[in-house]
Amino acid sequence: MTRRSLVVGNWKMDLSHKAEVEIVRSLKELFKGVTLEQTDVVVCPSFPSLAAVADGLKKNQKIAVGAQTVYWEEHGPVTGMVSVSQISPFVDWCLVGHSEQRAITGETDEQVAARAGLLVRHGITPVVCLGENAEEREADQSVDKVTKQMKVLIGALTRAAIAKIVIAYEPIWAISANNPGELPEGDEVAGMAVLIRKVAAGRFGSEAAEKLRVIYGGSVNEGNVDQYIEEPGIDGVLPGGASLQPRQFMEIVKKVEAAA
């Protein structure tokens, strides 16, 4: 079964509004000469820039726009949060469950699942982030942690919905902001992709599980992306800092396309 590859650039809050608009201009120019047949490309700017980035890319067929998170309820008196109806005019994709959101807001697995289900109902593809922290890894609890996160997620989704989500395996200890001393090997990430699909198969069957796209996030850059995308079962990557550099981001995309 052929799954489309995927590269999702997470801009976090590293850039000013002006800088995000300038990156869009650079990406549009750089990607003019890039042929993409098997790869979806997404950039996730900050909320204040969503409209401007979406407008800048509205005629671009190669780069889509995503949000960095969304609240799990459709509307209400929730100060400081953003609803699905507020992002839906601008995005086709949305990150949910990113480790930074989990850490800052105390976001639970159940809330992540609620976000994912809400996005699917609104026709937006959720990229659901999951993974273990350094302490859990040291305690040999990585498999247990990812299994639990997956079971909560798929327990809240229908068979139809599972075909419309993406899983981003993002070990917290490997994220560049955490100053990682090491990164997972490609075969380690591939093993996690197998686990993720195995858990999905337990509820929805092997055919549905094989359709599930799994990507890797954690200090991905042009120099190390090959070790992940060359492994079977890894469908792409979720770069953070590297996505702020238009040329490096383009090179990552080209490598993912070539490996597809």
Residues 38-52 pLDDT 10s: 999 999 999 999 999
Work out whether the CA dihedral 191, 196, 201, 206 comes out positive or negative: negative
User: What pLDDT, in 10s, does the model give residues 140-164?
Assistant: 999 999 999 999 999 999 999 999 9
CB 119 within 8 Å of CB 94: yes
What is the C-alpha end-to-end distance of the chain, expressed in Å? Answer: 12
| Residue with the two structure tokens 């139809």 | 160
Told to judge if 170 belongs to the known catalytic residues of this protein, a careful annotator would answer: yes
65 burial type by CB count under 10 A (0-12 exposed, 13-18 middle, 19+ buried): buried
Residue 119: pLDDT band (50, 70, 90) is very high
Right CATH for 5-259 from 3.40.50.300, 3.30.980.20, 3.20.20.70, 3.40.50.150:
3.20.20.70
Catalytic residue among 107, 136, 170, 251: 170
139: number of Cβ within 10 Å:
12
Q: Where are the alpha helices (DSSP H) in 66-205?
A: 84-87, 99-105, 109-121, 134-138, 142-155, 159-162, 186-204
User: Strands 93-96 and 213-216, how do they pair?
Assistant: unpaired
Q: Quote the mean pLDDT of the chain.
A: 96
Residue 84: pLDDT band (50, 70, 90) is very high
| Residue with the two structure tokens 């489309």 | 4
Q: Which amino acid appears at position 34 of this protein?
A: V
Residue 1: pLDDT band (50, 70, 90) is low
- Supply the pTM of this predicted model: 0.97
Catalytic residue among 98, 100, 231, 251: 98
Residue 103: pLDDT band (50, 70, 90) is very high
Question: Could you tell me the residue ranges of all domains in the chain?
Answer: 5-259
Asked whether residue 33 carries a pLDDT value surpassing 90, the answer given is no
Told to judge if 188 belongs to the known catalytic residues of this protein, a careful annotator would answer: no
C-alpha closest to that of 40 among 56, 60, 55: 60
User: Strands 63-67 and 125-130, how do they pair?
Assistant: unpaired
| Residue with the two structure tokens 């929805």 | 204
